[in-house]
Amino acid sequence: MKQHYELLVIGAGPAGLAAATDAARLGVDVALVDEQKFPGGQIYRNVSRARGQLINYLGKDYMRGKQLVVEFLQSAADYIDNASLWYLDDRLEAGLLIDGASRFISCDQMILASGAQERPMPLPGWHKPGVMTAGAGQILLKSAAVVPQGKLVLAGSGPLLLLLAAQYLRAGVAIEAIVDTTPASRLIGALPGLPRALGAIDYLLKGLSYMHAIRKARIPVYKHVDDLRAEGDERLEAVCFSVGRGNAASEMRIAADTLMLHQGVIPNTRLPLAAGCDLAWDQQQQSWKVSRDDWGQSSVDQVMVAGDCGGIVGARAAELQGRLCALQVACKLNKLDQDQRDRAATPISKFLNRHLAIRPFIDALYAPAPAYQLPADDTLVCRCEEISAGEIRAAARLGCVGPNQAKAFTRCGMGPCQGCLCGSTVATLIADETGAAIEDVGYFKVRPPLKPITLGELSSS
Amino acid sequence: MFRRIEDIGSDTVTLWIDKREFQVPAGISVAAAVLLCGFDKVRDTPVSGSPRLPYCMMGICFDCLMCIDGVPNQQACQVEVRHNMTIDYQRGAAELPQQE
């Protein structure tokens, strides 16, 4: 590991792996930084060590990651693993916490590929032991071959929920029920996106195959449910919800040991924010995204953004965006001229457009249900400081115009997760309560340390 | 409430979780190990003292904070198990080291 690189790539998921590999091939002096020991990010987590039946359970889309990891490890790029990025500023100084000591690395260019996180799904009882995210369930499967036993309920909305169900069924994991919170109106809303989605028909067929596996296994599926809650005294005991409307509405209570929640993914925009990149609100994806051109160039000259951290695109598109970023960085560093860059980019852009064709359909179909964006007053919103939706609404009524003021008023977002699990809900609640546009409400400011660091670790640099 | 479905490797390591001895597969995270060993909480929150288990498993939620080898506030999902590691519940906020 050197003190300075021409290019630092942050995040070893598909976008970062492809960007670092291609940049190294083009003669760029590059290092890839990641928090994990093994490359792959969350989507290809632990892929280089996957073996035995686990490979069949996880499926061939997952194993695509192995090729990316192998190509990266064969490249001349440095891999800085187990490195937690605790400091980043607009001068592109990166503070890394490695083995209990902090070190600073500088670079001429940076590619941010910090990926996505699951959209928080605040509902009554979501903080109780026994409730976790569907992504967490999948990470346990990928990284430790660990699966729930006892009564398992999957609830929420989105492709990951269906994929996880299919993977669990392949692995012989019993599922009590799938509780689908997708509102009935979403399918009609998604239809305008269908013609374009047919251009990426493999995605549609995959989704249908997951649904087929769920039907074949005779898993009870409750659709268009409302009022989802995790009930129990100290821990989860039952998943409760209502099905049907008006006079036909009925209350359901399913005994459960584990509840896995999901309502889509949102960009992890903390690093782009720390680097000073401009963001814009994406109405279709109901999330903030980084303002970037087709190469991935952000509003900051030396910062490119690849993959889901700039706006949700999916694993294959992320990989292709990483390749475009690498071409542009190599061009900026005079490793190739514009003609060479453009010739190399043409086929990549073509594939990228094909993979992006599915997005409008999926984004509209699985747009989050309002109930879990605007939870009832007594639902916890900030899990760290245990602040309820009612307290956020009260702060908004007192005149809080955005999340940063609400933080000062209530402590929401002030705990160790620094607002990752409440930021989007707090902003949505304030916008709803004050009638302001979410673009004007804004987001939590990001300030180092981006990850907790002790004084001892800081002074050992 | 969790189980293992596949032997990724045959190596195991010895852990001391809440002063009890456990054998777990090498290479997994402390959070995965604690779930696998059947614990019903990793910590009590500083605000209300309510119990929590790992929630996101990817380092963003900080619900899996534990005291690992005597060091409090460690993200259990980000730390790999090591032989003879001691892992303890975190009760409320971490205590500052006592002055000698």
Calculate mean pLDDT across residues A203-224: 97
- Check if CATH label 1.10.10.1100 holds for domain A374-441: yes
Angle between the N-to-C axes of helices A201-216 and A159-170, in degrees from 0 to 180, rounded to the nearest 10: 50
- Check if CATH label 3.50.50.60 holds for domain A120-263: yes
Superfamily of domain A4-117+266-336: FAD/NAD(P)-binding domain (3.50.50.60)
- Is the pLDDT score of A245 beyond 90? no
Q: What is the pLDDT of residue A349?
A: 98
Q: Tell me the shortest Cα–Cα distance from B96 to chain A, in angstroms.
A: 11
Q: What is the pLDDT of residue A244?
A: 87
Residue A131 with chain B: CB contacts under 8 Å: 55
Calculate mean pLDDT across residues A432-438: 96
Band (pLDDT 50/70/90 cuts) for residue B98 is low
What is chain A's mean pLDDT, rounded?
96
Q: Tell me the shortest Cα–Cα distance from B32 to chain A, in angstroms.
A: 7
List, as ranges, residues 252-311 from A with C-beta within 8 Å of B: 257-258, 268
Check A129 against B52: CB less than 8 A apart: yes
B4 inside domain: no
Residue A426: how many CA atoms within 13 Å on its side-chain side?
33
> In terms of CA atoms, which chain B residue is nearest residue A128?
B52
pLDDT tens readout for residues A26-74:
999 999 999 999 999 999 999 999 888 999 999 999 999 999 999 999 9
> In terms of CA atoms, which chain A residue is nearest residue B56?
A136
Residue A129 with chain B: CB contacts under 8 Å: 40-41, 51-53
**A225 has a chain B CB within 8 A of its CB:** no
List, as ranges, residues 155-214 from A with C-beta within 8 Å of B: 171-173
Question: Please, are residues B52 and B42 in contact by the beta-carbon 8 Å criterion?
Answer: yes
What are the Cα distances from residue A184, in Å, to A222, A223, A367, B38?
12, 8, 11, 38
Whether A4-117+266-336 shares its CATH topology with A374-441 is answered no
Does pTM surpass 0.80? yes
pLDDT tens readout for residues A123-158:
999 999 999 999 999 999 999 999 999 999 999 999
Which range has the worst mean pLDDT, A6-15, A75-84, A239-248, A354-363? A239-248
Query: Which 3 state secondary structure label does DSSP give A174?
Result: coil
Band (pLDDT 50/70/90 cuts) for residue B93 is confident
Question: Please, are residues A309 and A290 in contact by the beta-carbon 8 Å criterion?
Answer: yes
The percent of residues above 70 in pLDDT, for chain A, comes to: 100
Helix (H) or strand (E) holding A454: none
pLDDT tens readout for residues B43-88:
999 999 999 999 999 999 999 999 999 999 999 999 999 999 999 9
Look up the domain containing B19 and give its range.
Answer: 12-89
Q: Where are the domains of chain A?
A: 4-117+266-336, 120-263, 374-441
B39 inside domain: yes
Q: What is the pLDDT of residue B6?
A: 74
B98 inside domain: no
List, as ranges, residues 321-380 from A with C-beta within 8 Å of B: none
- Is the pLDDT score of B7 beyond 80? no
Residue A143 with chain B: CB contacts under 8 Å: 28-29, 32
- Is the pLDDT score of A75 beyond 90? yes
B41 inside domain: yes
B2 inside domain: no
Backbone angles phi, psi at A55, to 5 degrees: -60, -40
Calculate mean pLDDT across residues A377-399: 97
Q: What is the CATH number of the domain that holds B26?
A: 3.10.20.740
Calculate mean pLDDT across residues A445-459: 91
Return the DSSP state at A269.
-
Q: Which of B2, B51, B58 lies nearest to residue A148, judging by beta carbons?
A: B2
- Is the pLDDT score of A246 beyond 90? no
Question: A319, A253, A297, A258: which is closest to A39 by C-alpha?
Answer: A319
Residue B35 with chain A: CB contacts under 8 Å: 140, 146
In total, how many domains does chain B have? Answer: 1
Return the DSSP state at B80.
B
- Is the pLDDT score of B38 beyond 80? yes
Residue B53 with chain A: CB contacts under 8 Å: 129-130, 132
B20 inside domain: yes
